[in-house]
Structure 1
Amino acid sequence: MAAKITGAPSTLGSAPDATQVELASTAAETTAENPWPLRLLAVKMKDYIAKMSPVWIEGQVVQFSQRDRSSFLTLRDTDVEMSLPVHVWGTVLDRLSAPLEQGARVVVNVKADFWPKNGRLSMKANDIRAVGIGELLARIEQLRQQLGNEGLFAAELKKPLPFLPQRVGLITGRNSDAMKDVLKNSRRRWPAVEFEVREVAVQGPEAVPQVTKALAELDAMPAIDVIVIARGGGSMEDLLPFSNETMVRAAAAAVTPLISAIGHEADRPLLDEVADFRASTPTDAAKHLVPDVAEEMAGLAKARASLTRAMINRIQQEQHRLDAVRSRPVLAEPQVMVAARAAEVMALRDRALRAMHSGLRSAGDRIEHLRAQVRALSPQQTLDRGYAVVQTTDGILRNADDASAGDSLKIRLAAGGLRATVDEILSAGTSRTAPNELEASADQTDQATERADEAPDPAHPGEDQ
């Protein structure tokens, strides 16, 4: 039912007035001309909030102000920057087995309460229970299994650490021993290494947001080659932020290789599981972060010596092979091949010369034989035996009857010749010349005389033919 007011609503106990204004029944029906009084809104808010059921919440005590019978504490969410004030009566605190301290992790049964007079919303604690170590470990183990099932701890997701990072991102406590250990040992091993340090809270309620923010900043810097999150150990409660789901997921999402150096061997925080490399201590992180320059120099010297020995051995082996090849006869005395070929050439030349000389001698003998034959058939031989060739102007005179008295004759002798005139012709029967001798050389004399008439006389080259 809508309220009716004349300056003040009758429903709030004011005296009725002649002029009554009907108020809006819901907040959505209010207008500038028909608003709700502030007290009406406060009452409605108190009634609405009073209908809320009590709820159990979990958080970390970041502020605690204890008074005689009424105390106040501030609970902060364990993952995000969000807090809530809680009012606690002394009877509730009396039921605790141990005094409540700042930084404790608790679960609280609260009921919302609204004070209309000043418009303040508060939470009343009906019961407080401290979260024990066993329960925290159970929750961490449950989260470990959940993240493992999601594959965040898989070995194939681990990124290899750079052999020699030029710039290292370091997330550690403010002026902590862990920071000093990492810086000192890293620079002792490799003096040229550079660091980008982020000093943050590494325990308490501010640890998770500050570490996560620093990790995001360093991961976004291209010059950072590797990131180290270092803390020098601590109690189980102190290390709870490093098992926080928000921090673990942020570490898994980082693209830069991550080293976890929390330094707690008994209980492994979940950050160790998701990091690319887990170091047992900050000093151990420095050993795996950069190489030792002395060891590297010794390794280089050893490698150089090994390389020198390998080169010497290889050269010696090749020298032995060359010596073996060079010791072969063909290389020891290469002129042997040339000398053998030269001997073959000389032998072939001698054979050729002998064949040529033999051929020449044979040809010479044939020439001499032919020369003797030619000389035997030469008319000069006949003339040398005392014969003569008589010629007339018509040719060789063979028969005395063919000449006439007074004919001019040319008589060729073995040496020289004569010219004569026929004074008397003697018949063939009166000739004193032997008939057989004349007939034997008649044919040869005819042929030779014809050739002799054409060629000059070798014995008398100047004589007229």
Structure 2
Amino acid sequence: MTAKTSPEKPLPIRSVLQMVSQWIGKLGTVWAEGQITDLSSRGGTVFLTLRDPIANVSARVTCPRGVYEATVPRPVDGARVVVLVKPDFWVNRGSFAFTALEIRPVGIGELLARLERLRQILVSEGLANTERKRRLPFLPGTIGLICGRDSAAERDVLENARRRWPAVRFKVEAVAVQGPYAVGEVTEALHKLDADREVDVIVITRGGGSLEDLLPFSDESLVRAVAACRTPVVSAIGHEQDNPLLDLVADVRASTPTDAAKKIVPDVGEQLALVGALRDRGRRVVAGRLDRETAWVTAVRSRPSLADPVREIERRAEQAGGLRDRARRCLTSSLDRAEDSLGHLRARLVALSPAATLERGYAIVQFPSGEVVRLASSVGEGDELSVRFSDDRVHVTAAKPPA
């Protein structure tokens, strides 16, 4: 590969291929894991394709029949294996392939251990948390269904869903649900339905099977694709005892395809019965309210003020008249008593008044200052005095009394 070449001094293609073969031959052997597809045999050689279960990558492998038959159990299409391979370059055809030196099937225990490790990773990332799971719409307009071609699971979902709600609509994506192409086809169908704005919920379903048959639904790439969907996803894989990792991240897990049909659409009979029960309950509530209000109105109307308003006004008028007469009597009585008391007071005043004494023939002698003369010795000769009678007064001058 380090030979100097130029347009004037090119190498023959055989020499180039021989150098490629020598360089590839130096790579040695390596253990590789994958899934067997396109298994066939011709003469003493077995041909197969070793496919990566996650990425869309594969490689051709040739295996001597003795190596293939020495593997227990013998590998079949879809089997997961670990192969000791040596890269080879065929100079005559200019093609590259691996030669299998030893094949070891991946046991159930190893598969379960790998699935458990992946489960723990998904849980630690929060993909199994109930908080991130979305509720299914009550009545989806269109349901996306990913299932096997002409499978019993497809019939179970379609028939049971339409039996529950005849107007339900489906968009069915028929894919491989086991084998080496299952993961890629299911993932592609999932992306297609998730991008469709008419699809309100996606159902991924298949019937029961062995652990190896259900392995595609525990594939990490598919599981993460489901977790990233914007559309709610229902997982209905196998039977009740089957538990692929898809169930862990799906928004809703259905134990069977029939159970999925029950979860995605309501039962029209049950809903009609529920509507009828709610309608009857509403009628009872409204009727009860009307009865209570009618009884209240009847009670209000039976009150005297509303039953005979004129009679109530007359009764109030009689009360007002009675109160007026009573006030009048009370005021008259109070005035009479006050008048009597005033008469008695006036009589007493008259009896005690000096005018009454004067009317009986008495007189009052006063100095000009108004002071009453009480003693004759207080009057001097020639003093001006006023003598007051009951009806008049006279002015006199005091004279010396005769001897």
Give the deviation of 1:351 after TM superposition.
Answer: 10
Q: Classify the secondary structure of the residue corresponding to 1:338.
A: helix
Partner Cα separation in structure 1 for residue 179 and residue 267 of structure 2: 36
CA 1:114–1:188 in structure 2 vs 1: closer, same or farther (change >3 Å)?
same
TM-score (norm 1): 0.66
Deviation track 1:401-446 (CA, whole Å, cap 9, x = no partner) reads xxxxxxxxxxxxxxxxxxxxxxxxxxxxxxxxxxxxxxxxxxxxxx
Correspondent of 1:225 among 197, 200, 204? 200
- Structure 1 counterpart of 2:132: 157
Match of 1:59 in 2: 34
Aligned-pair distance for 1:190? 0.6
| Higher relative contact order, chain-length normalized (CA < 8 Å, sep 6+) | 2
Letter in 2 for 1:175: D
Q: In the TM superposition, what are the counterparts of 1:235-274 in structure 2 within 5 Å?
A: 235-274=210-249
In 2: Cα distance, 1:348 partner to 1:89 partner: 131
Deviation at 1:26, TM superposition (A): 2.9
Report the Cα distance in structure 2 between the residues aligned to 1:210 and 1:118, rounded to whole angstroms: 33
Structure 1 residues 174 and 345, CA, compared in 2 at 3 Å: closer, same or farther? Answer: same
Q: For residue 26 of structure 1, what is the aligned residue in structure 2?
A: 2
1:198 corresponds to 2:173: yes
Q: Does 1:73 align with 2:41?
A: no
**1:351–1:238: structure 2 CA closer, same or farther, 3 Å change rule?**
closer
Alignment of 1:331-410 (within 5 A): 331-343=306-318
- Find the aligned partners of 2:327 and 2:249 in 1 and give their Cα distance: 98
SS at match of 1:126: strand
What does residue 266 of structure 2 align with?
Answer: 291
Identity %: 53
Please tell me the root mean square deviation across aligned C-alpha atoms, in Å.
Answer: 2.4
Kindly state the Cα deviation for residue 344 of structure 1 after the two structures are TM-superposed: 5.5
Q: Partner of 2:20: helix, strand, or coil?
A: helix
Shift of 1:313: 1.4
State the shift of 1:135 in Å. 1.1
Q: Is 1:35 aligned to 2:14, yes or no? A: no
- Tell me, in whole angstroms, the C-alpha distance in 1 between the residues paired with 2:188 and 2:48: 27
Check whether the contact 2:235–2:247 (CA below 8 A) recurs between aligned residues.
yes
Q: Secondary structure at the match of 2:75?
A: coil
Contact kept, 8 Å, 1:58 with 1:108, in 2: the verdict is yes
Structure 2: give runs of 5+ residues left out of the alignment.
Answer: 330-403
2:187 is equivalent to residue 212 of structure 1? yes
Structure 2: distance between partners of 1:348 and 1:94: 128
| CA distance in 2: counterparts of 1:156 and 1:345, whole angstroms | 76
Please tell me whether residue 133 in structure 1 is matched to residue 111 in structure 2: no
CA distance in 2, matches of 1:151, 1:352: 91
The separation in 1 between residues aligned to 2:235 and 2:214, in whole angstroms, is: 12
Does residue 120 of structure 1 match 2:95? yes
Who wins on radius of gyration, i.e. which is larger? 1
Partner-residue secondary structure (3-state), 1:225:
strand
Q: Which residue of 2 aligns with 1:177?
A: 152
User: Residues 263 and 279 of structure 1 are in contact (CA less than 8 Å); yes or no, is this contact kept in structure 2?
Assistant: no
What's the TM-score once normalised by structure 2's chain length?
0.76
Unpaired runs of 5+ residues, structure 1, are 1-24, 355-465
The answer as to whether partners of 2:77 and 2:179 remain within 8 angstroms in 1 is no
Stretch moving more, 216-225 or 80-89: 80-89
CA distance in 1, matches of 2:156, 2:248: 23
- Pick which of 251-260 and 90-99 moved more: 90-99
Structure 1 stretches of at least 4 aligned residues deviating more than 4 Å after TM superposition: 344-354
CA gap 1:125/1:348 in 2 versus in 1, 3 angstroms: closer
